[in-house]
Chains A and B, each alone.
Chain A
Amino acid sequence: MSQMTKDLVEYLARLCRIACTEEEKAQLLLDMEKVLEHVRHLDIVPTQGVDECHHVLGVVNVEREDKVADCLEPTALLSNAPDTSDAFICVPPILRKHKS
């Protein structure tokens, strides 16, 4: 049974923050359903009592003391920003201005 719907594709595009065109959404609907139809076959693999694999090497997080060390220069890090002002990255307004 098809799981992908037009509404679901629209919802996912909003979650992904990608302004897909209508043409793309129509193609994504078909292509994603093809992939999901294939991957759903995993249902037949018995996995009762099997733990999820969270790390392929089975390593765990370790902690260390905070150490002050050299980091990258801010100018280097800002050099790729599309628009800067001193040490700030400039962006368009978060909110549109409302006309009163």
Chain B
Amino acid sequence: MHRLTAIELREQVRKGERSAEEVARYFLQRIAQHDGDVGAFLSVLEERVISQARAIDAKRARGESLGLLAGVPVAVKDNMHIEGEKTTCASRFLDNYRAPFWSTAVRLLEEQDALLIGKTNLDEFAMGSTTTLSAFHPTHNPWCLDCVSGGSSGGSAAAVAARMALIATGSDTGGSVRQPASLCGVVGFKPSYGRVSRFGLVAFGSSLDQIGPFAANVSDAALAMQIMGQHDPHDGTSLSLPPDDYFAHLDKGIQGWKVGVPWKFLETLQDPVHSVFKSSIKSLESLGAELVDIDLDILEHSVSVYYILAPAEASTNLSRFDGIRYGRRSTEAKTLDEVYDLSREEGFGYEVKKRIMLGTFVLSTGYQDAYYKKAQRVRRVVIEKYQKAFERCDIVAMPVSPGVAFPLADQCEGLEIYLQDLYTISCNLAGLPGISVPAGFSLEGKPIGLQLIGPQKHDVQVTRAAFAFEKAAKCSDRIPDRFQGKE
């Protein structure tokens, strides 16, 4: 059952060939069997998902039509709310927090009869690229259990890679869906800014955050986007546009399209990513696309822009965690001031503290012009360079990450990790849609993705190109040997 696509499984449930309860129990069993090795989940919603599955089966028995995700197991990154369930953000600060309301994007999935099976691991407050900065445990890469899964949505990526869920949600602020998707050999999509509601997503960088799906293939990811990509009056940055139709032209191919490649920006790319990228570009040409060299040299500064703006926004967003209304309150605090200072000291991990401090610094008097306002101007230049590039091409192709999944024991941190985001960050700075599609493997068998980026609000263009590439590359829908299992 875990080898089916989400769409195939949905059809079986809709036709009554399988019950939703059978599906729920099957994937709960897979989690029980495999998650000890992977660590994808922070909580498994066993009672809830069985109850939900029985409700879906009862609907079908009454002759009611079932939703677009009927019986499909979906994992939810643990920075998005399911009402009544814990949302920890992988932080000690919120280890006892229960959501009083729904994340709109997740509610939309459940309304389509998805089985919300569990909350997945992440780097604390979505700040990281390895899912080793969770306060609870790291997530291991299903393709190489000694290696990182990428981050910050590493738990969701790993859950789909090991087929403990068929779809998962992630949040992408600087690459946190696309990068773990590449490292875990699954599809990960970051929509245009504003395409998916951020209501109920614990905010990290509000001008950068977007919720996006993981899936084993582009069609399943497109299905999740079809459901989640709706205007939401609860989110003031939500696009006031009708939902995109991802399936209307999904299989129309890219014959005659122009694919922009920023070759000069990619000069430092090394193997194995370099050789997989070159062969991916050849695949795009074989599909009838024409390559165009584009100037995106500005992107060499995108890490600098991001690591000024994202911490600045985080320092504001995380000021709500003060020990007063929710979350950890230090038992040592004797005064109100100590509630703030000690609760935050005890509740936040080091990386979170560092980013809050950096953000406070770049926003402070005397430094704001040199850092924050300068970064905002360079952000404008990034946006304009992309706009110019898209006058000459329909889609931009880039690697996702400079490397493959590295050993957990390597303990890379700080700036070295930040530079891993080089190819993904600019998408968030410019609010563009971007996708990671499995494109190949290193000699050691570690996955490598191809990134396709489209103009703002042209999300269906991205999924169409990704669908075509996926058919040529034939690297989607693969399962690591250890998790193949039997039906």
Hey, which chain B residues are within 8 Å of A54, CB to CB?
Answer: 376
**Across the interface, which residues of A come within 8 angstroms of B131, CB to CB?**
none
Asked whether A68 is an interface residue with its Cβ less than 8 Å from the other chain, the reply is no
For the complex, what is the distance from the CA of A59 to the CA of B101, rounded to whole Å? Answer: 27
Q: Which of B98, B356, B418 contacts A16 (CB 8 A)?
A: B356
Contacts of B323 in A (CB 8 A): 82
Q: Are A72 and B101 in contact (CB under 8 A)?
A: yes
Cα A51 to Cα B360 with chains together (Å): 22
Closest chain A residue, CB of each to CB of B342: A19
Assembly CA distance A38 to B362 (angstroms):
14
Given A47-B381, A80-B325, do A19 and B345 touch, yes or no (CB 8 Å)? yes
Partner of A17 from B101, B194, B322, B328 at Cβ < 8 Å:
B322
B431 at the interface (CB under 8 A from A): yes
A31→B414 contact, CB < 8 A: yes
Partner of A41, one of B98, B304, B342, B354: B304
Q: Which of chain A's residues have a CB closer than 8 A to the CB of B298? A: 45
Question: Which of B328, B378, B415, B456 is within 8 Å of A35, CB to CB?
Answer: B415
Q: Which residues of A contact B342 (CB under 8 A)?
A: 19
Q: A57 at the A/B interface (Cβ < 8 Å)? A: yes
Q: Which segment, of B47-55, B112-120, B329-337, B437-445, faces chain A? A: B329-337
Known: A59-B237, A91-B324. A28 touches B307 (CB 8 A): no
Q: Per a CB cutoff under 8 Å, which of B97, B98, B207, B378 touches A47?
A: B378
A80 near B354: Cβ-Cβ < 8 Å: no
Please count how many residues in chain A sit with their CB below 8 Å of the partner chain's CB atoms.
50
Q: What's the Cα separation between A41 and B326 when bound, in Å?
A: 40
Query: A16 → chain B, closest Cβ, in Å?
Result: 5
Known: A31-B354, A72-B101, A89-B325. A42 touches B375 (CB 8 A): yes
Residues of A within 8 Å of B305, CB to CB, are 42
Residue of A nearest to B329 (CB): A82
Find out whether the CB atom of A93 lies under 8 angstroms from the CB atom of B374.
Answer: no
Q: Is the CB of B364 closer than 8 A to any CB of chain A?
A: yes
Interface code B331-366, partner A: CB below 8 Å = 1, 0 otherwise? 001111011111011001010011011101100100
Minimum CB–CB distance for B375 against chain A, Å:
6
Find chain A residues with CB under 8 A from B326 CB: 80-82
- Over the window 20-55 of chain A, the binary record of Cβ atoms lying under 8 Å from chain B Cβ atoms (1 yes, 0 no) is 110010011001101110110111010100111111
Query: Looking at the complex, which one of A18, A21, A35, A53 makes contact with B418 (CB distance below 8 Å)?
Result: A35
Q: Given the complex, which residues of A lie within 8 Å of B456, measured CB to CB?
A: 57
What's the nearest-Cβ distance from chain A to residue B365, in Å?
A: 11
Q: Does B371 contact A (CB under 8 A)?
A: yes
B376 touches A52 (CB 8 A): yes
- Does A98 belong to the interface (CB within 8 Å)? no
Which residue of chain B lies nearest to A75 when distances are taken between CB atoms in the complex? B100
Given A17-B322, A39-B304, A52-B373, check contact A24 B353 (CB 8 Å).
yes
Q: Is B289 an interface residue (CB 8 A)?
A: no
- Is residue B27 within 8 Å, beta carbon to beta carbon, of the partner chain? no
Complex Cα distance, B67 from A77, in Å, reads 31
User: Which interface residue of A47, A93, A96 has the most chain B CB atoms within 10 A?
Assistant: A47
Contact with B361, one of A12, A81, A92, A94 (Cβ below 8 angstroms): A12
Q: Is B336 a contact of A32 with CB atoms below 8 Å?
A: no
**Bound: A51/B308 CA distance, A:** 17
- How far is B322's CA from A55's CA once the two chains are assembled, in angstroms? 28
Q: How far is the CA of A51 from the CA of B374 in the complex (A)?
A: 10
How far, in angstroms, from A39 to B237 measured CA to CA in the complex?
28
11 intermolecular pairs with C-beta atoms under 8 Å apart: A16-B344, A18-B348, A32-B361, A35-B414, A38-B304, A38-B418, A45-B301, A47-B381, A80-B327, A92-B339, A94-B335
Binding site for B on A (CB under 8 A): 8-9, 12-13, 15-21, 24, 27-28, 31-32, 34-36, 38-39, 41-43, 45, 47, 50-57, 59, 72, 76-77, 79-83, 89, 91-96
Known A53-B377, A54-B376, A83-B329; further 10 A-B contacts with Cβ < 8 A = A28-B354, A38-B307, A39-B304, A39-B308, A42-B305, A43-B374, A51-B377, A77-B325, A79-B98, A89-B325
Q: Residues of B at under 8 Å CB distance from A?
A: 96-98, 100-101, 193-194, 207, 237, 239, 298, 301, 303-305, 307-308, 315, 319, 322-329, 333-336, 338-342, 344-345, 348, 350, 353-354, 356-358, 360-361, 364, 371, 373-381, 383, 414-415, 418, 429-431, 456
